[in-house]
């Protein structure tokens, strides 16, 4: 998922970009309205996060320009403007959500996830990577035509991996997907779950599909040697 963050406060954009990148998102940053507008119209973003008050061009103007071109990219406003009139003005301009500065990071990430779920295409009924197949409708996995017995959580994890092939999936992104509405388990639970899944799908000297990215997360797919 690709996000554009437009805010002139580097003390906000720098840590926020790091956090969003850690969550597995690709993040571009602009520090003025003109650059933000240019990037928003030249690239296919999954989400725009816009400060309202910006040098050269306001976030409100960027939002209006995007909507005037019939772009449906979700827009989240970050702003200190907290009156009802301001919120109505932003929503009428085409914004999808609105969060007041200062804000809790957990709330921002939850709103980002909620907006991105709107643009995530529905999962295919069948996924295939190399000789590994996953039938989502029947909750069954196969390797070289042989059925693999997986637990519900293993199926959920395998589905997430196969829907994001060749991408770096951070530990945090996987935790948020598997336990998004639950208390997160201890850090070794994911590693144990990944080991169990690997043992079941990588047998008989079959090519490795789950790859550790040291200190960051995992990558799924065939990697050329």
pLDDT above 60 for 26: yes
d(CA 147, CA 109): 37
pLDDT above 80 for 8: yes
d(CA 54, CA 224): 45
Tell me the per-residue pLDDT of 38-85, one tens digit each, with 9 for 90 and over.
999 888 899 999 999 999 999 999 999 999 988 889 999 998 877 788
Q: Which CATH class name applies to 152-220?
A: mainly alpha
For residue 123, give Cα distances in angstroms to 134, 178, 198, 213, 217: 11, 16, 22, 25, 22
Q: How confident is the model at residue 225 (pLDDT cuts 50, 70, 90)?
A: very low
| N-terminal to C-terminal alpha carbon distance within the chain | 27
Of 122 and 178, more confident: 178
Alpha helix positions (H), the chain: 10-22, 33-42, 59-68, 84-92, 105-119, 152-162, 171-178, 187-201
Q: What is the rounded average pLDDT of the residues 200-207?
A: 84
Q: What is the rounded average pLDDT of the residues 101-125?
A: 82
Range 186-195 contact pairs with CB under 8 angstroms and sequence separation of 24 or more: 193/153, 193/154, 193/157, 194/157, 194/218
Largest Cα–Cα separation, the chain:
65
Please state, rounded to an integer, the average pLDDT across all residues of the chain: 89
Tell me the per-residue pLDDT of 121-145, one tens digit each, with 9 for 90 and over.
655 678 999 899 999 888 899 998 8
pLDDT above 50 for 179: yes
Question: For the chain, what are the domain ranges?
Answer: 2-119, 152-220
At the topology level of CATH, where does 2-119 sit?
Answer: Rossmann fold (3.40.50)
The domains spanning 2-119 and 152-220 adopt the same CATH topology: no
Predicted pLDDT at 124? 62
Q: What is the DSSP string of 69-93?
A: TT----EEEEES--SHHHHHHHHHT
Least confident of 134-148, 174-188, 198-212: 174-188
Predicted pLDDT at 75? 95
Of all residues in the chain, the percent with pLDDT exceeding 90 is 53
Q: What is the pTM of this model?
A: 0.57
């Amino acid at each position: 998922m690709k996000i554009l963050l437009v805010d002139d406060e580097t003390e906000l954009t720098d840590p926020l970009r790091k956090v969003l990148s850690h969550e597995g998102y690709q993040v571009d940053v602009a520090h003025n309205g003109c650059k933000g507008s240019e990037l928003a119209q030249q690239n296919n973003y999954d989400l725009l996060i816009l400060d309202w008050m910006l040098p050269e061009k306001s976030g409100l103007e960027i939002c209006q320009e995007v909507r005037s071109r019939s772009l449906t990219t979700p827009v989240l406003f970050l702003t200190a403007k907290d009156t009802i009139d301001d919120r109505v003005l932003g929503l009428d301009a085409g914004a999808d959500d609105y969060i007041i500065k200062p804000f809790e990071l957990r709330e921002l990430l939850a709103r980002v996830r909620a907006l991105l779920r709107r643009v995530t295409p529905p999962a295919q009924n069948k996924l295939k990577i190399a000789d590994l197949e996953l039938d989502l409708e029947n909750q069954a996995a196969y390797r070289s035509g042989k059925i693999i017995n997986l637990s519900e959580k293993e199926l959920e994890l395998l589905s997430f991996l196969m829907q994001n092939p060749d991408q770096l999936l951070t530990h945090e992104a996987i935790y948020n997907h598997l336990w998004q509405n639950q208390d997160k388990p201890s850090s070794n639970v994911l590693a144990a779950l990944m080991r169990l899944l690997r043992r079941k799908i990588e047998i008989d000297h079959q090519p490795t599909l789950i790859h550790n990215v040291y200190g960051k997360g995992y990558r799924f797919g065939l990697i050329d040697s």
